A and B are shown apart, each in its own frame.
Chain A
Amino acid sequence: MITLSVNGQDVSYDGDPTLSLLWFLRDELGYTGTKFGCGEALCGACTVHLNGEAVRSCAVQMGDAAGKKVVTIEGLDPHGDHPVQRAWRALNVPQCGFCQAGQIMQAAALLHATPNPTTEQIHQAMSGNICRCGCYQRIEEAVRLAATGV
């Protein structure tokens, strides 16, 4: 039996410990805000916070998540008003929106660790998150806006 905390609630899991956290969150718990994009930690759509750090949930096995704290997009802010979320809305970042939960989780982790990132730091932190619609210009602006306050 594996126990972990997801968005502040203790949850348990009794299945295959090699199952990736992504599918536990999505299929077993129903936290569908975390998206499947590649399954190989190449696109960032499944980014969540694991003990405060941005990770690709498709590449974290349940056995390695045991005892840890997971925060998904649903748990980032109780009212959906994290500065990153507000900045994303202020600049109308999304097109299709599918990658944005992962982008927002990545950006929130970046700003937590580096409150005033340089352009290079933004690129470095965000380059693991693919947006096929091509919202990058606004993503970069939104990270900056979230850093400086909305």
Chain B
Amino acid sequence: MTHIENLLRARGEAPARETAIIVENVSRRDLLKGVIAAGSLTLGATLLPKRGLAAWATGAGAMPHGVVSDPHVFVSIAPDGTVTIIAHRSEMGTGSRTSLPMVVADEMSADWRRCRVVQAPGDEMKYGNQDTDGSRSLRHFVQPMRQCGAAARLMLEMAAAQKLGVDVSEVEAVNHEVIHRKSGRRFGFGELAAAAAALPTPPPEQIRLKDPHAFRYIGTGSVQIVDLFDITTGKAVYGADARLPGMKYAVIARPPVLGAKVKSFDPSAALKVPGVEKVVEVQGWDWPAKFQPVGGVAVIARNTGAAVKGREALKVTWTDSPHAVYDSDKYREMLLENARKPGKVVRNDGDVEAAFKQAAKVVSAEFYVPQFAHASMEPPAATAWVHDGMCEVWAPVQSPGGTHDDLCKTLNLPYDKVKVNVTLLGGAFGRKSKCDFVLEAALLSKALGVPVRVQWTREDDIQHDFFHAVAVERIEAGLDASGRVIAWRHRNAAPSLFSTFVPDPKYQQPLEYSMGQVDVPFAIDNIRCEVCEAPAHARIGWFRSVRNVPNAFAVQSFVAELAHETGRDPKEMLLELIGPPRIVDPRKTTVDLWNYGDPFETYPIDTGRLRRVVELVAEKAGWGRQLPPGHGMGIAVHRSFLSYIATVVEVAVDDKGNLSVPRVDTAVDCGFYVNPERIVSQMEGAAIMGLTIAKYSEITYKNGAVQQSNFNDYPVVRIDEAPRITNVYIVPNGWDVPSSGVGEPGVPPFIPALCNAIFAATGKRIRRLPIGNQLAI
């Protein structure tokens, strides 16, 4: 079938318009190693100095395998002028697969219509860090990709100068050509490719970045995502779309309780299901096991539907597990109890105890955010073929390099015998940072000697996720007689995601409490933050925005509560707490403040920027305007992933307690930006994901097992309940303001802004998520 051939087509046969991630025919892999095989630029993979041309320092160099910005790694030019640019970050919907290659193209003066994008396999030795999470892609790679494009431009200009026998200063790259103004001679990029390829990579001091005013694509929002046509025509390749000859389809029965193992299984009924061919056990690892599979029993069939039916007929008995005690109701009570007692102090400014004693009034509140699951539209799926001492996989992974390394370890194979082909990710939100599903496919392929696709069902996805941790946040504030906050104590109790990696630390760690708890930017002299005990009974992972979700919900809701207590406008209260424009530096009073892995000097906590987004969004939303009966507005602001985002939500609650959201306004300050159109789409999506979390998201346990299974009992917001409009305002910034995250930081302020709006509309204060039926009358 032609569309199957399409999927298996070789790289070089793709048309100039980029059409999809290329899934190679495995038998041809040796012919296809690297883009360079197309035959043009062939240069060594020299690492440019990490800070060669950096306008600002980032933590990118400290990530595993650091940064590579050599054009010989990322750019090739065919004789017809087609420029191929490697995308080394995974595409899960944020647009970075388009935006970073576009940065390269803009810097090298290429015509974007003559560029194609090819996805890199997992190979951090070659491409540098590929771990696509933490809202890092643009933040860490806009500078290296500018460097890369500028170096490629210089090489093309040098090649043209050589041909003409003139100094390189006499020529200039413009729109896919190099022009010699004096003579009027012009060379297309294709004509220059071979000569440019013979040149060494210029040293950083020779490379000149463009003046940002000369950008043709960066900052304009005029470039559409490269996969747009393929997505709208069904040709885009996701995790379950790679097809190999002789491939078998597998689904796996996994232990319902974390830590349980297969005791015995009876495959006979499963094997009678038409299409089922085999039933085999899948190895599981003891917890904590990072991203290794939990184990179970796999049903192998001629198609996925038969495998699912076979699993329904399969009989498995599981061993007992100590985590069978996990019961969400009891666990919540325990967290509340623990948060009412002093915990470990992780930030201590001034003298909180004394300030509370002096306070004229003490206000306190407890907030609860349940455990929840990612539920990306694409459930985990991967295809693997292990044969002849090699392993090749096709998978939607956020960390292709990490997946590569875990495959090497799990299968005991050397680096160069493993290849991770990265498909598009059908949503990820942190789930697909964890490659357990890929390892399952590889283990099964190895055991069966054929290519295997492992498909997770929605039930598997919801019940065996690496979950967002449940949390209790307790905040107390001491106010003086004038209503000014003089003491602030924020305690939380939430299981740590580090329990996935190491024996359970039972307390939030710096990376976690630095996401919205200890970095609270308020002008209060006496601040104490504490973390309280919370043992983990589930696989905890990171979910979009991570700890910022519960912390921002608690802190920003509490600010509105304080405004109410003191009879003030919530926006004025918020600005008073933020205080005057300044740099807030909690490092001296905090145990190991984590700044998203980036230098504090580059990305300080700047209350001027916080204030600006608050004021901008309030103005645009018409804060304080007259609203119809039943409507209310709420405001919240939060700095996360080094960006500053403020949101105003307008809600309407009818006389039956039905909630709707007529309007959302969001102001974003994310530093220097590349593709404002994708920033807008991220903010629109963040509002909808925030609404889902607020209204519905909750995973509960009974006897250690998840009680939810699919979208019927784990609902998500649908089109008829989505915000009617989300307006996004981006603070314009020049190259002097470092780029910061966009994928995650839109979610945290939305939820408290929504709940504050509900309070304004109804007088009901939401302190426990999800909202569920709390508004029902």
Residue numbers of A with Cβ under 8 A of B are 15-16, 18-20, 22-24, 26-40, 42-43, 45, 72-74, 76, 80, 85, 88-89, 92, 94-101, 104, 122-124, 126-140
Residue in B306, B428, B716 whose beta carbon sits within 8 Å of that of A130 in the complex: B716
- A69 CA to B407 CA, complexed, in Å: 43
Does B720 lie within 8 Å of A124, measured CB to CB?
A: yes
Query: A135–B685 contact, CB under 8 A?
Result: yes
Q: A43-B377, A96-B93, A137-B723 are in contact. Are A16 and B274 (CB under 8 A)?
A: yes
* In the complex with contacts A23-B303, A98-B427, A30-B243 CB distance below 8 A: yes
A residues less than 8 Å from B234 (CB atoms): 31-34, 72-74, 101
CA–CA, A136 to B379, complex, Å? 20
Q: Quick one: which of B303, B682, B686 has the most chain A CB within 10 A?
A: B303
A127 with B719: in contact, given A80-B233, A98-B378, A135-B684 (CB under 8 Å)?
yes
> Are B684 and A130 in contact (CB-based, < 8 A)?
no
Q: How far is the CA of A89 from the CA of B429 in the complex (A)?
A: 24
Query: CB-CB < 8 A to B556: which residues of A?
Result: none
Give the CA-CA distance A26 to B241 in the complex, in Å. Answer: 8
Mark the stretch among B78-86, B200-208, B223-231 that contacts chain A.
B223-231
Let me know if A32 and B93 touch, CB within 8 A: no
- Contact sample, A vs B, 19 pairs, CB 8 Å cutoff: A15-B306, A16-B273, A16-B274, A16-B305, A19-B303, A22-B305, A26-B240, A26-B304, A30-B7, A32-B7, A32-B237, A35-B240, A37-B378, A72-B234, A80-B232, A96-B428, A104-B232, A127-B720, A128-B718
The CA-CA distance from A26 to B228 in the complex, in Å, is 21
Q: How far is the CA of A105 from the CA of B228 in the complex (A)?
A: 16
Chain B nearest Cβ from A44, distance in angstroms: 9
Interface flag for B376 (CB, 8 Å): yes
Q: Least Cβ distance of B697 to chain A in Å?
A: 11
Q: A19-B303, A74-B234, A131-B719 are in contact. List 10 more A-B contacts (CB 8 A).
A: A15-B275, A15-B302, A27-B303, A32-B237, A37-B377, A38-B710, A95-B94, A95-B685, A96-B377, A133-B685
Chain B residues packing against A (C-beta within 8 Å): 1, 3-4, 7, 91-95, 224-225, 227-229, 231-238, 240-241, 243, 249, 273-275, 302-306, 308-309, 375-379, 424-429, 455, 457-458, 677, 681-682, 684-689, 710-712, 716-720, 722-726
Residue of B nearest to A99 (CB): B377
Other-chain contact of B3, A74, A96, A124 (Cβ < 8 Å): A74
Q: How distant is the Cα of A80 from the Cα of B266 in the complex, in angstroms? A: 48
Nearest chain B residue, comparing its CB with the CB of A130: B716
Q: Check B375 against A33 for contact (C-beta < 8 Å).
A: no
B275 with A16: CB separation less than 8 A: yes
Known contacts being A32-B7, A98-B426, A132-B427, is A43 close to B711, with CB within 8 Å? Answer: yes
Task: Kindly state the separation between the CA atoms of A137 and B722 in the bound complex, as whole angstroms.
Answer: 8
Name the residue among A31, A100, A122, A139 with the largest chain B CB count within 10 angstroms.
A100
In the complex, residue of chain A having the shortest beta-carbon distance to the beta carbon of B240: A36
CA distance A20 to B306 in the complex (A): 9
**Once the chains bind, are B719 and A126 in contact (CB under 8 Å)?**
yes
| B684 CB contact (under 8 Å) in A34, A88, A129, A134 | A134
* Contact between A134 and B722, CB atoms less than 8 A apart: yes
How distant is B687 from chain A, measured CB to nearest CB, in Å?
Answer: 7
Shortest Cβ gap from B9 to chain A (Å)? 14
Q: In the complex, A73 Cα to B512 Cα: how many Å?
A: 43
A-chain residues with CB within 8 Å of residue B224 when the two chains form the complex: 89, 92
B249: which A residues are within 8 A, CB to CB?
27
Evaluate contact between A97 and B424: CB separation under 8 angstroms. yes
Is the CB–CB distance between B719 and A123 below 8 Å? yes
Enumerate chain A residues within 8 angstroms of B228, measured Cβ to Cβ: 89, 92, 94
Smallest CB–CB gap between A111 and chain B, Å? Answer: 15
A89 touching B232, Cβ below 8 Å: yes
Instruction: Using known A-B contacts A35-B238, A40-B458, A96-B424, determine if residue A73 contacts B233 with beta carbons closer than 8 Å.
Output: yes
Instruction: Report whether over half of chain B's contact residues are helix, strand or loop; otherwise say mixed.
Output: loop
Query: Once A and B bind, how many residue pairs between them come within 8 Å at the CB atom?
Result: 209
Tell me, in angstroms, the Cα distance from A19 to B249 when the chains sit together: 14
Query: Bound complex: CA of A127 vs CA of B768, how far in Å?
Result: 27
In the complex, what distance in Å separates the CA atom of A45 from the CA atom of B458? 12
CA distance A136 to B308 in the complex (A): 31
Q: Contact at B685–A134, with CB atoms within 8 Å?
A: yes
Query: Do residues B376 and A96 form an inter-chain contact, with CB atoms below 8 A?
Result: yes
When distances are taken between beta carbons in the complex, the residues of chain A under 8 Å from B719 are: 122-123, 126-127, 129, 131, 136, 139-140
B247: min CB distance to chain A, Å:
9
- In angstroms, Cα B30 to Cα A12, docked, is 37
- A70 CB, nearest partner CB in chain B, Å: 13
Indicate if the CB atoms of A74 and B225 lie closer than 8 Å.
no
Determine whether the beta carbon of B233 is less than 8 Å from that of A33. Answer: yes
CB neighbours (8 Å) of A72 from chain B are 234
B240 touches A32 (CB 8 A): yes
A136 to chain B, nearest CB (A): 4
Residues of B contacting A20 in the complex (Cβ-Cβ under 8 angstroms): 305
Q: Are B458 and A38 in contact (CB under 8 A)?
A: yes
A30 to B231, CA, bound (A): 16
Given contacts A33-B234, A137-B726, contact A89 B229 (CB under 8 A): yes
**What's the Cα separation between A92 and B679 when bound, in Å?**
12
Write the chain A residue with the least CB distance to B457: A39
- Assess whether B229 is in contact with A80, with CB atoms less than 8 Å apart: yes
Neighbouring B residues of A122 by C-beta, 8 Å: 719
Closest A residue, CB atoms, query B5 = A30
A44 to B376, CA, bound (A): 14
A80 — which chain B residues lie within 8 A by C-beta?
229, 232-233
Question: Residue of A at shortest CB range from B276?
Answer: A16
Residues of B within 8 A of A132 (CB): 375-377, 427, 429, 689, 716
B306 touches A16 (CB 8 A): yes
Top 10 closest A-B pairs, CB basis?
A: A33-B234, A98-B426, A134-B688, A96-B93, A73-B234, A23-B305, A134-B685, A95-B93, A97-B231, A27-B303
Cβ-defined contact, B378 with A96, below 8 A: yes
Q: Which residues of A contact B686 (CB under 8 A)?
A: 134
Contact assessment for A98 and B233 in the assembled complex, using a CB-CB cutoff below 8 Å: no
Whether B92 pairs with A96 at a CB distance below 8 angstroms is yes
Q: How far is the CA of A85 from the CA of B457 in the complex (A)?
A: 28
- A14 CB, nearest partner CB in chain B, Å: 10
Within 8 Å CB of B7, what residues of A?
30, 32
> In whole angstroms, how far apart are the Cα atoms of A36 and B228 in the complex?
20
In angstroms, Cα B543 to Cα A132, docked, is 13
Output the nearest chain B residue to A61 by Cβ-Cβ distance.
Answer: B305
B712 and chain A: residue at smallest CB distance: A42
Check if B424 sits within 8 Å of A36, measured CB to CB: no
A64 to chain B, nearest CB (A): 14
Given A45-B377, A126-B719, A133-B427: A94 and B305 interface contact (C-beta under 8 Å): no
Give the docked Cα–Cα distance between A101 and B426 (Å): 12
Known: A38-B458, A38-B711, A94-B225. A130 touches B725 (CB 8 A): no
Bound Cα distance from A134 to B685, whole angstroms = 4
The minimal Cβ–Cβ distance linking A138 to chain B, given in whole angstroms, is 7
Q: Please measure, in the bound complex, the distance between the C-alpha atom of A97 and the C-alpha atom of B241, giving whole angstroms.
A: 14
Distance (Å) between the CB of B465 and the closest chain A CB? 13
Name the residue on A nearest B681 (C-beta). A95
Q: Chain A residues near B457 (CB, 8 Å)? A: 39
Tell whether, in the assembled complex, residue A100 and residue B232 are in contact, meaning their CB atoms are under 8 Å apart.
yes
Given A73-B234, A101-B234, A137-B723, residue A36 in contact with residue B681 (CB < 8 A): no
User: Which residues of the partner chain A approach B687 to less than 8 Å between Cβ atoms?
Assistant: 134
Inter-subunit contact B236/A97 (CB<8 Å): yes
Closest residue on chain B to residue A81 by CB atoms: B233
Q: Known contacts A15-B302, A92-B224: does B231 contact A134 (CB below 8 Å)?
A: no
How distant is the Cα of A27 from the Cα of B1 in the complex, in angstroms? 13
B722 contacts A92, CB within 8 Å? Answer: no
| Complex CA distance for A132 and B372, rounded to whole angstroms | 14
Q: Are B427 and A92 in contact (CB under 8 A)?
A: no
A55 CA / B641 CA spacing, docked (Å):
41
**Bound state CA distance, A24 and B304, in angstroms?**
9
**B244 nearest CB across to chain A (Å):** 11
In the bound complex, residues from chain B placing their C-beta under 8 Å from that of A96 are: 91-93, 376-378, 424-428
- In the bound complex, residues from chain B placing their C-beta under 8 Å from that of A134 are 684-689, 717, 722
Instruction: Name B238's closest neighbour in chain A (CB-CB).
Output: A98
